[in-house]
Each structure stands twice: as structure tokens, then as C-alpha cells.
Amino acid sequence: MATLLIVDDELQVRKLLETLLQYEGYHTQSVATGEEALALVAEQPPDLILLDIMMPGMDGYEVANHLKNNPATANIPIIMLSALSEPSARVSGLQTGAEEFISKPVERVELWLRVRNLLRLKTYGDQLKNHSLMLEQQLRERGTETAKMNVHDLARLDLENALRQAVTAGEFTLHYQPKQSLSNGRVSGLEALLRWERPGYGTVSPAVFVPILEHLGLIVSVGRWVIEQACRQIALWQRSGIGAMEVSVNVSGHQLIEGDLIADIGRLLAQTSVEPHWLEVELTESSLMDNTQHTITSLQRLRAMGVKIAIDDFGTGYSSLAYLRRFPLDTLKIDIAFIREVTSNPQDAAIARTIIELAHSLGLRAVAEGVETAEQLAFLKQAGCDQLQGYLLSPPLPVAALERWLRDQRGL
């Protein structure tokens, strides 16, 4: 967890900033003077500093100067706070080396976004620094162990470059995996899944490449492409004999925070003339637990548009039930880990049953993923699960194969 140091002579400002930042899950420390700040930073360097400009004694410019001129503390990002909104104050602050500037009174979302962005930059900078330190060490040692790490790093770098290329060359495709209603056996919807055939290598698992897209900052544009493709496909089916289908798309937490997911979805639905209820977004439990308040607000806007919302991989992310009630949701997808041994492991069976009951008591539908056997199906039916998805029904399919499969299902 990141530690933020707040330096401000006014008690109310310190209290307010602490409350806002702790609410977003950060650990905070606060001091009232520049002198105390320098002493504390020397002892335990924080991950980021919020620094008031006007303070009795040492002012914010002086503190920033000290920190930025010391190589040991120069990398700690500084956000300057000032009641002065004149450009000259801003320029002086930036001249001392501060990374950002916020005017008082502090606006909650702006504060949080600036803090978050700076912390991400710092993590990246730290990684680069560690990386070059490691390379230097490897050159010195030239041992077998470090040589292996070197190969690993090169492979990662190679993969990053290949992914950048994949984005510009449009190498991604979508496959669709059907879901079935357990009450009437009908196909109830599809999950759109991102596929990447790496030229010369074959299929790369999204579990491998999605985190790298997130790290490279490319997930927002790729995620937007996924939603666009899904909407276009719904529109095409609507005009064909197949008819419109409910499609769920997986959305990364980064799309909620860095991109304007809500505006993107609104625009893409309008462009393709798709009614919002045909689209569902799936978010993992852990991405909902980051920046909870902002996420709830975004999801409420999405829900108000009529788009459905699902929690993916539910049951492993330790979300509190109190939070769950606050999210506007339609669907809980039971984590595949509980389905795998649902017929042989009584604990997994109990958890799966509990999640289904929980979903129903909150007025949500429960979907089981990764269903592969008739025994699992029988269990889920008996437990009152609403929908299933998995190889027992169908693997994810490319569009043409899926359309054939749908026609077969309907006996056309």
C-alpha cells in the first residue's frame, strides 16, 4: 500500500486530505511544518508528498528544493497545494521540481486522479531504475542464475514489442462463448473473449497478455475496440436471422479509471444502434475493490444507461458483503475454482451453493463458468444456478463457427 506524506500548517486541510486519501485506500502521514517533513522523509521516505506552499518557517518551495536536490529523495513525486491560483505560483512550484500542482479547495476526484497517476509513474520509474541496476549487476556477475533472468527479461521485452505491434496491426480477434439458461435450456447470451494469435508463435493466453497491455497503458484502447466489435456484432446479428444476443465483455479496472468507459460505451451503442440491455460488462472482484467510491459512481452511470453489470470470478476476491450491496449489479459469475471440484469437494459445493443463494437474495442472477461435466450441470441445476458456461455447452468460438452452432441449437 502506498504511503503519502501530507505537509500543511492548517489542521483542517491535513484532516480533510487524510480522510479523502484514506478513503481511497492509501496510508497517510501528516506533519505541520517543512522542517518536520524533511526529518520524516530522511527517516522513512514516502511514496508521494502533498506539500502546501504557504507555511510559516520553511515554505513549500524550500522543502521541494531540498528534496529535489538530494539524489536519495529526488524521485519522490511532489504535488504542491496552494490557495493561490495565479500562474506565477504554479510556475514557481513546478520550477522547484514539483510534479503537479493542485489549487485549494481541493477537489476530491482531481486529487485522487493526480495521486494515482503520479504513483503509477513512480512505480514505472522505480522499475526502470531497478532494471538498470540489475543489468549492471548481471554484467558484473555473469553467473548462470543472472543469465537466466536476462533471458526472461528479454522475452518479456520481446513480448511487449510484439503486443505494441499487435495493437497497431490489429492482430486481435474476438471469440464468443455461449451461456445457457438452466431453467429452459435456451442460449441466454455470449461472453466475448479477446484472442491474440502472435505471428510465428500461435495463440497467447489473455492471462499472459492482458496484464502486459495494462502495464503498457494499452488496455484502454484495446478494451474500447472489444466493446466496439461486440456492439457491431450484436447489430449484425439483430439484422440477420440469428437475432440480437446479449453479449458480455470483460472490462479491466484500468478502463474505468484511466479511460472514459462510460462515454465510450454510450457512443458505441449509439453508433451501432444497439439497445443497452444487450450489453453486459464483466468486472473482476478485485478491480471493483480498488477505488471503490469512484467505481460505484461510474457503474451507477452505466447502469442508468441500461447496460448490465456482472462481477467475474466471484468468490476469491475477498469483497465484503457490505460493499457488494452498494454496487449496482445484475450478475455474479462464480469463480471457476469452485466449479472444478463442485461434485467431489464438499467445501467447494458449499461455497458454490452459498454464492448462488447470495446472488438470489440480492436479486442477481448466478452464472457458473467452466462447467465441463454432466455431474457439475446436475449439481448446479439442483442448487438453483441460473446460467452455465463451459466446454460442456461449447468452447469459445470464432464468429462463423458460433453462428453454425447457434443454428444447430435451434434446429435450423
Question: Is residue 267 exposed (0-12), middle (13-18) or buried (19+ Cβ within 10 Å)?
Answer: middle
Q: Look up residue 150 and give its amino acid.
A: N
Give the integer Cα–Cα distance in Å for 211 and 222: 12
Residues 270-299 that bind Mg ion (CB under 5 A): 282
Q: Are 32 and 40 in contact (CB under 8 A)?
A: no
Give the integer Cα–Cα distance in Å for 336 and 339: 5
In angstroms, give the least distance from the CB of 106 to Mg ion: 37
Question: Is residue 289 exposed (0-12), middle (13-18) or buried (19+ Cβ within 10 Å)?
Answer: middle
In angstroms, give the least distance from the CB of 9 to Mg ion: 49
Which bin fits 147, alpha (ψ -120 to 50), beta or left (φ > 0)? alpha
Give the integer Cα–Cα distance in Å for 30 and 297: 29
* CA dist 227 → 6, 191, 261 (Å): 40, 12, 10
| Stretch of 36-44, 216-224, 234-242, 249-257 lying at the interface with Mg ion (CB under 5 A) | 249-257
Residues 116-175 that bind Mg ion (CB under 5 A): none
Quick one: 282 or 335, whose CB is closer to Mg ion?
A: 282
Binding to Mg ion by residue 250, rule CB under 5 A?
yes
Peptide linkage before 395 cis (omega within 30 of 0): no
In angstroms, give the least distance from the CB of 282 to Mg ion: 4
In angstroms, give the least distance from the CB of 367 to Mg ion: 9
Q: Are 350 and 314 in contact (CB under 8 A)?
A: no
In angstroms, give the least distance from the CB of 279 to Mg ion: 14
Query: How many residues are there in the chain?
Result: 412
DSSP-derived 3-state class of residue 281: strand
Phi then psi dihedrals of residue 191, to 5 deg: -110, 125
Quick one: 92 or 248, whose CB is closer to Mg ion?
A: 248
In angstroms, give the least distance from the CB of 111 to Mg ion: 32
Quick one: 250 or 394, whose CB is closer to Mg ion?
A: 250
- Residue 190's closest CA among 412, 410, 399? 399
| Stretch of 2-10, 59-67, 248-256, 391-399 lying at the interface with Mg ion (CB under 5 A) | 248-256
Quick one: 47 or 282, whose CB is closer to Mg ion?
A: 282
User: What track of x and - describes contact with Mg ion for positions 307 through 326 (by CB under 5 A)?
Assistant: -----x--------------
Q: Where are the alpha helices (DSSP H) in 24-107?
A: 34-43, 60-69, 87-95
In angstroms, give the least distance from the CB of 312 to Mg ion: 4
In angstroms, give the least distance from the CB of 310 to Mg ion: 8
**How many other C-beta atoms can be found within 10 angstroms of the C-beta atom of residue 115?**
24
Q: Look up residue 358 and give its amino acid.
A: L
Quick one: 282 or 330, whose CB is closer to Mg ion?
A: 282
Quick one: 98 or 334, whose CB is closer to Mg ion?
A: 334
Quick one: 312 or 348, whose CB is closer to Mg ion?
A: 312
Give the integer Cα–Cα distance in Å for 249 and 315: 20
- Residue 328's closest CA among 290, 367, 275, 283? 283
Number of residues in contact with Mg ion, rule: CB under 5 A?
A: 3
Quick one: 100 or 312, whose CB is closer to Mg ion?
A: 312
Give the integer Cα–Cα distance in Å for 147 and 128: 19
| Stretch of 96-104, 244-252, 261-269, 293-301 lying at the interface with Mg ion (CB under 5 A) | 244-252
In angstroms, give the least distance from the CB of 311 to Mg ion: 10
Binding to Mg ion by residue 335, rule CB under 5 A?
no
Quick one: 60 or 396, whose CB is closer to Mg ion?
A: 396
Quick one: 24 or 312, whose CB is closer to Mg ion?
A: 312
In angstroms, give the least distance from the CB of 391 to Mg ion: 15
Residues 39-78 that bind Mg ion (CB under 5 A): none
Phi then psi dihedrals of residue 170, to 5 deg: 65, 55
| Stretch of 94-102, 246-254, 273-281, 402-410 lying at the interface with Mg ion (CB under 5 A) | 246-254
Interface positions with Mg ion (CB under 5 A)? 250, 282, 312
